[in-house]
Amino acid sequence: MKQFINGVTLELMQGDIASQKDITAVVNAANAELRIGGGVAGAIHRAAGPGLERECQPLAPIRPGEAVISGAHNLPNKYVIHCLGPVYGVDKPEDELLADCYRNALNIAEEKGIDSVAFPAISTGAFGYPMESAATIALKTVLEEAKKLKSIKTIRFVLFSKSDLEVHAAVLKGIAM
Ligand code: ADP
């Protein structure tokens, strides 16, 4: 599914965030220590190799809502943007912290002149954020930010399961301008 806003293409697809060959920066649903973990952080660090953890150590720890950028090592991308999502029911206000992740990731990408960014569904795995609420925040934030973007031309959401993709598609349909 694709949507065009102010010269930016917003794409929703099912897939693996660690195999987005045509994307300049992939976003990691990181842990505060920026170490290998489960889910997205496991897939990204395994594909990138141990150099990614080494590069990230001076940048850690990060706070919920924060984003930092590193090289992509053995991933097929140029950069990884690491975001720490809120733990649902623990880090408050969780909706604002989740929106901060998307805003801060896009701002860092703009500062670097990056043309394409791929996001996973931050906080919806181990951190327990309900998929539909998280999708609403993620898509609303990205649609709002898209109006201001200059260098970013493609934003892709890479959803792990078919049902996660369907939830995002339905939410996007509901808020599309
Ligand atoms: P968090 O700790 O922020 O909740 P997780 O990595 O546990 O992050 O999960 C975030 C979302 O990413 C979940 O919806 C999960 O199903 C999904 N996911 C897990 N592995 C991958 C992957 N390789 N590519 C894309 N999405 C993934």
pLDDT of residue 92: 97
pLDDT of residue 138: 98
CA end-to-end distance (rounded Å), the chain: 15
> How does residue 176 score in pLDDT terms, banded at 50, 70 and 90?
low
Nearest-atom number in ligand 1 for the CA of 158 is 25
pLDDT tens figures, 29-46: 999 999 999 999 999 999
pLDDT tens figures, 80-106: 999 999 999 999 999 999 999 999 999
* CA 114 to ligand 1 centroid distance, Å: 23
Q: Report the alpha-carbon distance of residue 11 to residue 4 in Å, rounded.
A: 9
CB atoms near residue 42 (< 10 Å): 12
Q: Are strands 8-14 and 154-159 parallel, antiparallel or unpaired?
A: parallel
* CA 173 to ligand 1 centroid distance, Å: 23
The residue with greater pLDDT, 123 or 175, is 123
Q: Which residues pair with 155 in a beta bridge?
A: 10, 117
* Residues within 6 Å of ligand 1 by CB: 16-18, 29, 38-41, 43, 85, 120-127, 158, 160, 164
Domains and CATH numbers, the chain: 2-176 (3.40.220.10)
Model pTM score: 0.98
Q: Report the alpha-carbon distance of residue 111 to residue 148 in Å, rounded.
A: 13
- Atom 15, ligand 1: residue with shortest CA distance: 125
pLDDT tens figures, 50-64: 999 999 999 999 999
Whether 167 has a pLDDT exceeding 80, the answer reads yes
**86 in Cβ contact with 127 (< 8 Å):** yes
Q: Are strands 116-119 and 154-159 parallel, antiparallel or unpaired?
A: parallel
